[in-house]
Amino acid sequence: ARPPNSTYISSSIAPAFHASGRRCLATQVKKPPAAQEHENKKERVVILGSGWGGYTLSRRLSPKTYAPLIISPRSYFVFTPLLTNTASGSLDFSNIVEPVRDPRAKVDFIQAAARAIDLKKKTVICEATVVKSGVTESPRTTEERRGTEEGPEATNKEPMQALLQWEQGEIFEVPYDKLVIAVGAVSRTFGTPGVRENAMFFKDIGDAKRVKRRVRECFELAVLPFTTPEMRKWLLNFAIVGAGPTGIELAASLRDFIYSDMMALYPSLDEIPKITLYDVAPKVLSMFDESLSRYAMETMEREGIDIKTSHHVKSLRWGPPGAPPPYNMDPKRCLTLTTEEDGELGVGMCVWVTGNAMPKFITESLDSIDAFPTDSVHSMEASPEAPENPENASWKFKKAPKKGPLVVDGHLRVQLQNETGQTAVLRDVFALGDNAMPETGAPPATAQATNQESKWLADRLNKGDLDRTPPFSFRDLGTMAYIGDERALMQIPHSGDRGSKSFLPEGIKGRTASIIWKMAYISMSISWRNKLRVAFRWTLNKFFDWVTT
């Protein structure tokens, strides 16, 4: 049973939080107003994260039964499929965000980051997240860098993020009846030297703003009268590492932005700008059929994007190729990207989009937990050699190998594992989205899958039939990618629900696919306000070139 809301004592802060080295004084432990307002009759569903998982779930839960509370460092939801369009200026940043606080939605919000979970007390230990400058920009990039597999805190070493350092916020606990973990993923850097410090990542609005700003900055630097022709070439060489859907769409959008809009403003730089896409794999967009992936490569190369598949990036540092150390960051200069195949190359910007890693909250904070009460367990695997009593065993959250996502059962319930490998499924703690991996039939880490999971879980909780219903199963509705110059790809799922071959073609490509791509994202945008804004803005772009810059 959950202790009364009034129990807030620092001594019971979860052990993982103590292990992090942060001191948690009794005076720091506060009860936030949103938690005080908890209506006793309704179950408090605490949702960690305001992305595809958290935001969608909070909006679908029945306000008659549940009192949802989102805890997230960012106070808005981002429609990520259109993020690349904002970096290239074809959409405004406000066109793709939805505020979490909305008077029409009966959802509470606390701007904070979850730092640990106390299963015994059924509370989440949070840290209020406030940016020093007072800007409520997401700390995602900083978090991301801290959360990469290299591990160490990196705040002061991040030149590009200098203005984005978080204060150490106040620590407080928030009680829950049900908890949903949807904190998403961070960028994977594979420990490549210099990437964490010098590359740009691409997960959030702040990242898109930085990319757009840097492109413009590189053009202005390139036209300065004293910039040498060689430096000009390097500054206008834009590298994107990772040729998955995000890398491809970013390269395509930047291509539109640079070749159509920027070149009109900087005619003297004609033929100098270059976009290069790197990937270790021999082909791009591996999730698409061979013919679509080949079409994407051919089209993008024709559009002027240099695609370097089977290329291994070794390091990234500030300063031009051949420059001696020290490599101090100087935004007026270029960076040097070194690949195994081509050696050193000067670039004005490098955006790193090579896939997902788990944030520190998942990899470290959930590693050691207090004993937890037996009644919080939904089911426990019988094991002759393992202790059955959760009070006596040392348990951890079960994760996929190599610091992977949380393993959940078919009903998205989080699992624990003890030293002997015995598993226990928690009754009231769920995980979904990029930070979760269902034991059976893991869906891809996409907005489409996360959206389906959150709708499914909300419906089950609303109907109260979670235990009686079949496990969640992902339904592939197809995949789309924009490849530039008003062309796109659309992969149609190969077979229908009944396993029969679909009557539809396997894929659509070119301008038709681009029209479908646009219509699909207008209709999927969350609010009517943003559906109309996106449609209006794209129409406006057709008539006025200047709106995109």
Write out the residues near ligand FAD by the rule CB under 6 A. Answer: 48-54, 71-74, 80-81, 83-84, 113-114, 138, 140, 143, 182-184, 202-203, 246, 359, 361, 433-435, 445-448, 450
Strand order across the 487-491 sheet: 479-484, 487-491, 507-510
> Which residues have a Cβ under 8 Å from the Cβ of 20 and sit 6 or more positions away?
115, 116, 364, 365
Choice between 335 and 406, CB closer to ligand FAD: 406
One DSSP character per residue, 413-428 reads EEEEEETTS-EEEEEE
Residues 6+ apart with CB under 8 A from 529: none
The smaller minimum CB distance to ligand FAD, of residues 319 and 433, is found at: 433
Residue closer to ligand FAD by CB (options 242, 390) is: 242
**Taking a C-beta distance cutoff of 8 angstroms, is the pair 280, 312 a contact?**
yes
Cα–Cα distance measured from residue 6 to residue 448, given in angstroms and rounded to the nearest whole number: 39
Least distance from ligand FAD to the Cβ atom of residue 357, Å: 12
Minimum CB distance to ligand FAD, residue 434 (Å): 4
How near is the Cβ of 223 to ligand FAD at its closest, in Å?
30
Q: Determine the angle formed by the axes of helices 447-463 and 52-60, rounding to 10 degrees.
A: 30
Q: How far is the CB of 188 from ligand FAD (least distance, A)?
A: 12
Minimum CB distance to ligand FAD smaller for 128 or for 337: 128
Closest CB 375 distance from ligand FAD, rounded Å: 26
Question: What's the rounded Cα separation, in Å, for the pair 152 and 455?
Answer: 36
Strands 423-431 and 178-181: parallel
Angstrom distance (rounded) from CA 443 to CA 432: 10
CB 208: neighbour CB atoms within 10 A?
26
Least distance to ligand FAD from the beta carbon of 225, Å?
Answer: 37
If the CB atoms of residues 24 and 345 are measured against ligand FAD, the closer one turns out to be: 24
Question: Which CB, 69 or 182, lies closer to ligand FAD?
Answer: 182
Nearer to ligand FAD, 182 or 236 (CB): 182
Q: How far is the CB of 328 from ligand FAD (least distance, A)?
A: 30
Minimal distance, residue 220 CB to ligand FAD, in Å: 26
User: Please, what is the minimum distance in Å from the beta carbon of residue 332 to ligand FAD?
Assistant: 28
Q: Do the Cβ atoms of 127 and 113 come closer than 8 Å? A: yes
Q: d(Cα 390, Cα 370) in Å, to the nearest integer?
A: 10
Name which of 249 and 428 has its Cβ closer to ligand FAD.
249
Rounded-to-10 torsion of CA 153, 158, 160, 163: 70
Instruction: Indicate the residue whose CB is closest to ligand FAD.
Output: 51
Give kind and range of the element (H or E) at residue 98.
Answer: strand 97-99
- The CB density around residue 332, as the number of other CB atoms within 10 Å, is 11
* DSSP states along 471-522: PP------EEEEEETTEEEEEPPSB-TTSPBPSS-SEEEEHHHHHHHHHHHH
3-state secondary structure of 260: helix
Tell me whether residue 13 or residue 113 sits nearer to ligand FAD (CB atom).
113
Query: For tokens 């994107």, what's the residue?
Result: 240
* Shortest Å, Cβ 54 to ligand FAD: 6
Comparison of 345 and 362: residue with beta carbon closer to ligand FAD: 362
Q: Which is nearer to ligand FAD, 142 or 418 (CB)?
A: 142
φ, ψ dihedrals at 371, nearest 5°: -55, 150
Q: How far is the CB of 293 from ligand FAD (least distance, A)?
A: 16
User: CA-based angle 496:406:109, to the nearest 5?
Assistant: 95
The answer to whether the bond into 326 is cis (omega within 30° of 0) is yes
Find, among 514, 477, 488, 493, the residue nearest to 295 by Cα.
488
Which of 84, 422 has the CB closer to ligand FAD?
84
Bridging pattern class, strands 171-175 and 343-347: unpaired
* Nearest distance from C-beta of residue 475 to ligand FAD, angstroms: 13
